[in-house]
Each structure stands twice: as structure tokens, then as C-alpha cells.
Amino acid sequence: MDQRKNEISKGIVIRAQASIYYVQTPDGIFECTLRKKVKREMMDGSHYLYTDPVAVGDNVVITISDGDKGAIEEIEPRKSKISRLAAGTVPLEQVIVANVDYMIMLMSAKMPVFKPRLLDRLLIVAEAGDLEPIIIINKIDLLSEKEKSKLYSETQIYNEIGYKILYISALNKIGTDDVVDIMKGKMSALIGHSGTGKSTLLNAIQPNLVLKTSEVGSKTKRGRHTTTSAQLYELGFGGYVVDTPGIREVGLWDVWQSELDQYFREMKPFVGKCRFYDCSHITEPECAIKKAVEQGKITKQRYDSYIKLRQGKGRDDSE
């Protein structure tokens, strides 16, 4: 008989798949289901509030049953989360990962091409989730000197508005020491477009993981998914990282279009200084933000991203 049966334990969800949750505790990993009473707490009437009430990174209380089985009795309050609007006709929140310190956005310099619009949407996700975003641009080894100069010029604006940005080659381990310095002692989520090299980067900084990688399609220039569900890993140099599936699109969750300017760091100093209190910063006269764009205080590139999002455009990865 298992002497631990009915024992209460605390742990962290390291993987969630098909309503089965793998929880790391001081006594080992337990395969858990979710109590119905907890599911009911995540409902609004007859409708669920989330695609899945439990996310990787959640701190939970479980009851141990037989062997390595258990049940989640409680989900502790989250300090942060990365969420997006789930695909489908019913508006639902999809929590990708919970309780991380850093949202590390891995972009690709080439194969697939760097997508500033996608980066802007991811930055809004980070701001909305109370997360510190770190921008990493991978595959710089694929660029010529001229292409590097163009990329640095295009991305320097993010550094100027207060975001940390690193340029690396995970395959050749260029700049990966800087990534280790950032992640050390922290819990980070690695998120980005398919094919940007998330698994390659994790293999570079933690070789014993031996994660599967794949080539970017030569015709589509898109990556193939090698990570099918979010997975939390402990890092040998201290800290944790959550590897997430490659994203094709980013639907913003709990971000009102009328409040979108609050998630653009460079726009905040000008919010509330327009002639009209409900200014959309697109067509109205005497707009403080449009004036800041004209004066070069806000870049045209970021302002164009704002307009597309304000008008409800730009959810997919085509830009």
C-alpha cells in the first residue's frame, strides 16, 4: 500500500497535455487530473473562462493517490501570465504559461525573416501580463554585413524605448553566454515564431536536454513545430525555462483597443494630452501622439503597428 496516499503536497506544473498535468513536487513528479470543484471555479455560468484552467508554471496543491498519480485540489494565485486569445468563434483566454519572471521573445534574423509587427504584438502580450520582456534575435550568422547593419538600424528603436535586445547565433553559440546571464536564477518563458530556433537555443545553453530541432522549409520559409506543448525545464546554472510551441498568430487577450496606447511604452508620456479625451490617435486633430510622430519622438514603424492593431488588423504572422 502506498503510504503517501491522500497526502497533501505542493508543486509546480511542468507539463499539461489533454487534461493531464505533470506536477513536480519535492517527492517527485506526479501525473494529475483536475478536481471538478476547481473546474467549476473557472466557469462563468455554463461557460469556461479558459481553454484550460491549468497552465505550465502554475503553483498547485495536490492530493497524492496511487503511486505517481494525484489530483489538483487548488491553483494558487498567479503573479504573472502569458495569454492570448484562443482560436475559434467563442472568446476564450489561452494561458500559455504562468508565474514567469521574463518573457523571452526569440525572433529570427533570417529563415524565417524578422517580423517587427509580430514582435510588437508580443511586446503588448508581455506588457499586459506584467512580464519583463527580453528580445533575442537569432541566426545573425546568416546575415551579410550589409544585412546586419540594416537589422541593427531597424531594431535599435526597441533598445531606445527601454527593451533589452540581444543578437545571437544559437547554432554557433555566439552570444549565448549573455542569454545564460539573463536566465540565471530566474523563471523564463521562451516564446516565438516557429523556426526561430527555440530548441536550438535551449540545447546550446543546456546540452543535456537534447531537444529535437528541424530545418526551416525552403519553399515556405516557415518553421516546423518541434515543441508540441509547453514544457518546464530546470537549468543546470540555476533557474527554470518554459519552452513553448511555435506560434503562428497572436490574438491579444484583455487588451481593449481604446487602451492600446497604454501598452506602447513610448506613447505613455503623451497619453491624455490630446484635444479629445477619447482620441484614437488616427484621424483626430490636435493629437499629441501624431505630433510626437511628426517630431520623431515616436517612430513611424511603431506608430504603423499601433494603427493596425487599433483597427483590428494584424493577428496572423504574414507581416
Q: Which residue has the higher pLDDT, 316 or 165?
A: 165
Q: What's the pLDDT score for residue 159?
A: 94
Asked whether residue 216 carries a pLDDT value surpassing 90, the answer given is no
Q: Are the C-beta atoms of 60 and 80 separated by less than 8 Å? A: no
Report residue 85's pLDDT band, with 50, 70 and 90 as the boundaries: confident
Q: Which three cell numbers stand for residue 197?
A: 530556433
Report residue 65's pLDDT band, with 50, 70 and 90 as the boundaries: confident
Produce one character per residue of 69-107: b if its CB has 16 or more CB atoms within 10 Å, e if not. ebbbbebeebebbbbbbbeeeeebbbbbbbbbbbbbbbb
* Entry field: residues in the chain: 319
Report residue 6's pLDDT band, with 50, 70 and 90 as the boundaries: confident
Q: Which three cell numbers stand for residue 242?
A: 518554459
Pick the CATH number of 96-243 from 3.40.50.300, 1.10.3470.10, 3.40.980.10, 3.60.20.10: 3.40.50.300
Domain residue ranges in the chain = 8-77, 96-243, 257-310
Domain 8-77 CATH class label = mainly beta
Report residue 96's pLDDT band, with 50, 70 and 90 as the boundaries: confident
pTM score:
0.84
Average confidence score pLDDT of the chain? 85
According to CATH, what is the number of the domain 257-310?
1.10.40.50
Contacts of 140 by beta carbon, 8 Å cutoff, 6+ apart = 109, 148, 151, 167, 168, 169, 174, 175
Q: What's the pLDDT score for residue 250?
A: 54
When pLDDT is averaged across residues 52-61 and rounded to a whole number, the result is: 93
Asked whether residue 260 carries a pLDDT value surpassing 80, the answer given is yes
Q: What percent of the chain has pLDDT over 90?
A: 57
